[in-house]
Amino acid sequence: MDIENVRSRFIKHFDGKTGSIYTSPGRINLIGEHTDYNGGFVFPGAIDKGITCEIRPNGTDTVMAYAIDLKDRVEFKVDDPKGPKSSWARYIYGIVQEMRKRGVDVKGFNTAFSGDVPLGAGLSSSAALESCFAFALNDLFGNNKVSKWDLVLAGQATEHNYCGVNCGIMDQFASVMGQEGKLMRLDCRSREFEYFPFNPKGYKLVLVDSVVKHELAGSPYNDRRKSCENVVKHIAAKHPESKFETLRDCTWEQLDEVKNEVGQEDYNRAKYVLGEKDRVLAVCDALNAGDYETVGKKMYETHEGLSKDYEVSCEEIDFLASVAKEDGVTGCRIMGGGFGGCTINLVKDELYDKFVNDVKAKYQKKYGKEPKIYNVVISEGSHKVC
Ligand code: GAF
């Protein structure tokens, strides 16, 4: 978080005055992928990389926003029915609208923001941006009357209503609710969650970025969700006596009953989701017992499912996972929405140097580019800096 940079740009690009500074993190997710919109469990944590904004009400009804890293400036009226075109500004515009819907009387403001969440790496830079502005507007214009959960939902609604991504709640949840040193197990159906201190002695969590840019807008992400909903619809039609909202409500037997109707592809998607629900629970037990070998084994199983059944991996990421396996890394899988981005690896301390050297050299040799390595620290969620 480079506060000095944000402050100096804010002063330079507006009227020389300072405002309030807020920050929100990106996230990792240990296990529980594509389960959030299926009512299942996720296991994310906020990281020490995020979006930081400086913001000050300007006494008008116009938002003037400057994206420091892109050197791009956009203006829009708070009640503009359409909003700006550029993708980064649509997140801010969407949050303004969603906070207004939640009773916050948002007026015009000046803002400059910057981030150190790598873009397109599957670390939720967009959720960090949404959460940062949701938190800031709630503080500046709403006297913090909107609950943290509603800030999460405002971020998710921004993706749905203004950015074309029909995402679940994991990313915004992790960004808003994160706590230092703790992962969170969230039940996305009941919204109950628990903090899990995460300090795996003798292991490091390492992200390997394939530098294949992942972008959910316009990707088959929404199609995956549709496949899951289609399976639920067929199961519900067979069992009118019960209520089925998401795949979380469905059993393996019920899934098998509709196998021929829904077709192999949708069946495979649902099969992955049901398996992932079981895996997250197994990982919770393993973490409680300090059994990181089982955690790692489940991570590899998740990768297999995401690659073969859910089909959200790509050749480069599969290669990164195969290098991890060859090197004896405890656990590895593609992380986040997929279609590029990072693998998350649970690596024994003594293997770390060898693995990092190997993965860089082998990836470079095969794809002619070096993967990026991020050692993340589990950190605090959205907050005011000053
Ligand atoms: C993306 C989405 F935004 C999340 O809601 C979640 O579905 C994730 O992909 C996959 O687990 O990050």
Q: What six digits make up the tokens of 103?
A: 């009773």
Cβ–ligand 1 distance for 337 under 6 Å, the answer yes
Can you tell me whether residue 250 is helix, strand or coil? coil
Query: What local confidence, expressed as pLDDT, does residue 215 receive?
Result: 78
Residues 185, 81: Cα–Cα separation, whole Å: 38
Q: Atom 9 (ligand 1): residue with closest C-alpha? A: 337
- The CATH superfamily label for domain 203-376 reads GHMP kinase, C-terminal domain (3.30.70.890)
Averages of pLDDT over each 10 residues, the chain, 386 residues: 92 96 98 98 97 98 97 98 95 98 98 94 96 98 98 98 97 98 96 93 96 84 97 98 97 98 98 96 94 97 98 97 98 96 97 98 97 95 98
Q: Ligand 1 test: best mutation among 156, 170, 186, 342, most atoms within 8 Å of CB?
A: 170
Cβ–ligand 1 distance for 155 under 6 Å, the answer no
- The answer to whether residue 171 is catalytic is yes
Query: What local confidence, expressed as pLDDT, does residue 201 receive?
Result: 92
Can you tell me whether residue 308 is helix, strand or coil? helix
Query: What local confidence, expressed as pLDDT, does residue 2 receive?
Result: 85
Please give the C-alpha separations between residue 171 and each of 158, 174, 338, in angstroms, as whole numbers: 13, 5, 14
Residues 174, 287: Cα–Cα separation, whole Å: 19
Domain span(s) for CATH 3.30.70.890 in the chain: 203-376
**Alpha-carbon dihedral sign for residues 47, 141, 169, 158:** negative
Specify the pTM.
0.97
CATH of the domain spanning 3-198+380-384, picked from 3.40.800.20, 3.90.105.10, 1.10.730.10, 3.30.230.10: 3.30.230.10
Q: Atom 5 (ligand 1): residue with closest C-alpha? A: 168
Main-chain phi, psi angles of 339, to 5 degrees: 60, 40
Can you tell me whether residue 176 is helix, strand or coil? helix
Query: What local confidence, expressed as pLDDT, does residue 119 receive?
Result: 86
Q: Give the number of other CB atoms < 10 A from CB of residue 168.
A: 22
CA 313 from centre of chain: 16
Q: What six digits make up the tokens of 1?
A: 């978080």
Domain span(s) for CATH 3.30.230.10 in the chain: 3-198+380-384
